[in-house]
A and B are shown apart, each in its own frame.
Chain A
């Protein structure tokens, strides 16, 4: 099948997963399951995608689940009857994996002729273990419509305080050219007057006096 071959050839997602596998080798505590995962991964990849492309009703689901008592940042994948567990997955990587899977599903959805006919993948529960910065834990989400059907309603308003916290983690960025200049300025002031605190002086300075000139020079 054309699509199958193309999907097997598809570099990025596979590479990404293979890479993840190597990374997790040391970290993963689930010994036996790991071996099974490694064997099945590449094949599952091709199969899974072709299944979902061929007929949208495949149980191709990825559910990152969190078990609060287990490791934080643990990613669990349920796929075609087997379970894969990954520890210490950074939230962004988990998000990337989910987006890739979603993209595959979306590609399937846009390719199938009837936009509404694609059966939704089974994703009853989806949670990501909360990590330091991103993604508050969500509870049950309703079973999803086909991704190509756009629903008009906006989502539930997120908790304002959580947004504020997120915003605090994204400070206003500085332009590179100015950043370099300001660093240079700080160095210059520190090097000229290493023992005095860098305070702006209000007094008048005379041209000959190096020290006050440097302090005033901003």
Chain B
């Protein structure tokens, strides 16, 4: 760049900044935290892009392969907090093989050598090995305030111990749902207890890690600021003294009501003590005899997670009717329509509701009343107007129910519906009109999932989705459409759609390629279940610069319906992946 051109740019920059010096500009930008707003700011001119980059505190890289660690550092050298995600979301549903990729090594190496202001690191669905943690700790232990290894794998408890004793400023240690080796060794908890006194969040919920009550007690005694404690399985009666000590704990998850090899029926939980500060709870394997543990505290509860309990429909009703202050409720569909009606009557402040899929076993392991239909859906829509996040698995549905959501649930920014395979006959199909009403009513919707069955959403319905999803950035569609026309119609709309996941729709390669090219904002596409073209060339119609295309072939040794081939495509400045396993073929770029 010539001096003149540079001078011209600087002049332009200054004009656009109204003569405000960079320092001031950076400070003003510092008040803008929303990443979308920051993105807009950075596009004004090169000068503003630079000022934004230098003042940006946090970046989320939604797809780790979309850029390189070096590029990220070049743009955001002053970053204090980084979140990286790698494996497709489908990995949480056992659809991605362990060796697909997502190694954190290149990132951690870069972070450790540079990123001199980094205090917080969040890795989600990545592979982190012990060496990586060694390197990270050696470079950043004195600075690390938050470390989240979220649904990661590849490391052992020895590494956690290393983190525990080296990172004395650590306020957040998050390991939820990670797969960790040497799970029997819980020395790391003792290390944490003795090395750290500022810990506020410790989360190893849904891991297999052993956690002895003695070490947990030690931890709680030494870490007086502990607010969130989410552990693995630990017998509740053994935690009595823990709760007596932990007077600042607001959120607790884990525990267990299972005693090894003995009957639990004789215990009495009526007077189990929880600190008054505690108002978010998730207790594992809680059954009929144990649910009384909640009753004295139910009225104060803001969050309740019953997904991992052994309760019936009736018992869900009994608990929920005592919880008028709930803001977050997570259950399985055993709660039934009846339970949801109780929720609708009682939980007027509800903001987040998740109704997960229970057991399908026809032998009746789940409560026979444990089915959700349009009745429960409508009840919640009408009873809980504050909902912002709502994920639900239903066994039956009507258009009217979806219309009710559109009319009443105006605050929804995230709505996900799955229509299960349980009933042979669905009351009303197709659901085109209901979906249209829902999308027209829920104008704040940013994330939307609609996973149904053949016939539940026609091509016209897909057209409605395209037409009425102005702000939606993420969409998961399952078993929708009748023909390629459907996805073509959808792709003419959805102006904000950045991430699209399709499963079981079986559009042709050609249609997928056309849709990918048409969707204005698309930067990430995942497909499982598509019709192959005769020569394999149809998919290549979507070849374009910076658009990485991966073809994922199932594991041949274990053929399984869920391991059908997949397409993964995403914008990338990093070029072709160099770490593909045999099951992943990068189709583009070719070198």
Contacts and interface: CB of A to CB of B under 8 A. Distances in A.
Contact of A217 (B90, B288, B420, B454): B288
A171 B562 contact: yes
B288 to A, nearest CB: 6
Contacts of B535: 62-63, 98, 102, 123, 126, 141, 144
Contact of A93 (B482, B531, B553): B553
A175 B93 CA distance: 4
A178 B331 CA distance: 11
B90 A173 contact: yes
Interface residues of A, number: 82
B541 interface: yes
A110 B265 CA distance: 70
A103 B587 contact: yes
Interface residues of B, number: 88
Contacts of B129: none
Chain B CB within 10 A, most for which of A19, A103, A110:
A103
A117 B534 CA distance: 23
Nearest to B585: A96
B536 A208 contact: no
Contacts of B531: 135, 158, 163, 166
Interface in B258-286: 258, 263, 265-266, 285
Given A172-B478, A213-B287, A126 B586 contact: no
A200 B451 CA distance: 29
A97 B535 CA distance: 10
Contacts of A160: 454, 482
Interface string B525-540: 0001101101111011
Contact of B265 (A9, A172, A207): A207
Contact of A169 (B543, B561, B591): B561
Contacts of A4: none
Contacts of A126: 534-535
A166 B479 CA distance: 10
Interface string B141-165: 0000000000000000000000000
B365 A106 contact: no
Contacts of A189: 365
Contacts of B588: 103, 106-107
Interface stretch (B239-247, B399-407, B483-491): B483-491
A214 B357 CA distance: 21
Contacts of B361: 186, 198
Interface in B297-313: 307-308, 310-312
Given A154-B514, A158-B483, A101 B536 contact: yes
Given A158-B506, A185-B365, A218 B312 contact: yes
Interface of B is mostly: loop
B365 A218 contact: yes
Interface in A110-134: 110, 123, 126-128, 133-134
A209 B93 CA distance: 37
A32 interface: no
A107 B206 contact: no
A134 B532 contact: yes
Contacts of B585: 12, 16, 96, 99-100
Given A176-B94, A218-B365, A210 B591 contact: no
Interface string A176-218: 1111011011101100000001111000010111100100111
Contacts of A164: 454
A158 B508 contact: yes
Given A106-B588, A200-B364, A218-B311, A148 B543 contact: yes
B93 A174 contact: yes
Contacts of B511: 154-155
B177 interface: yes
Q: Which of A170, A172, A175, A197 has the most CB of B within 10 A?
A: A172
A14 B361 CA distance: 47
Contacts of A6: 591
A217 B308 CA distance: 12
B363 to A, nearest CB: 5
B95 A169 contact: no
Given A99-B539, A100-B585, A107-B589, A167 B312 contact: no
B564 interface: yes
Nearest to A189: B365
B514 A200 contact: no
A29 interface: no
A95 B543 contact: no
Contacts of B484: 154-155, 157
B181 interface: no
B115 interface: no
Contact of A170 (B263, B534, B544, B564): B564
A105 interface: yes
A166 B366 contact: no
Please provide the 8 A-B residue pairs with the shortest distance between their CB atoms, ordered closest to farther: A98-B536, A106-B540, A173-B93, A217-B287, A154-B484, A217-B310, A102-B537, A126-B534
Given A164-B454, A181-B307, 6 more contacts: A133-B561, A144-B537, A147-B540, A210-B263, A210-B265, A218-B370
29 contacts: A92-B565, A93-B553, A96-B551, A99-B587, A103-B587, A110-B544, A110-B545, A126-B534, A127-B534, A134-B532, A135-B531, A135-B532, A141-B534, A144-B535, A154-B488, A154-B510, A157-B485, A160-B454, A163-B531, A166-B529, A174-B357, A177-B177, A177-B206, A185-B365, A186-B359, A188-B310, A200-B365, A205-B288, A218-B334
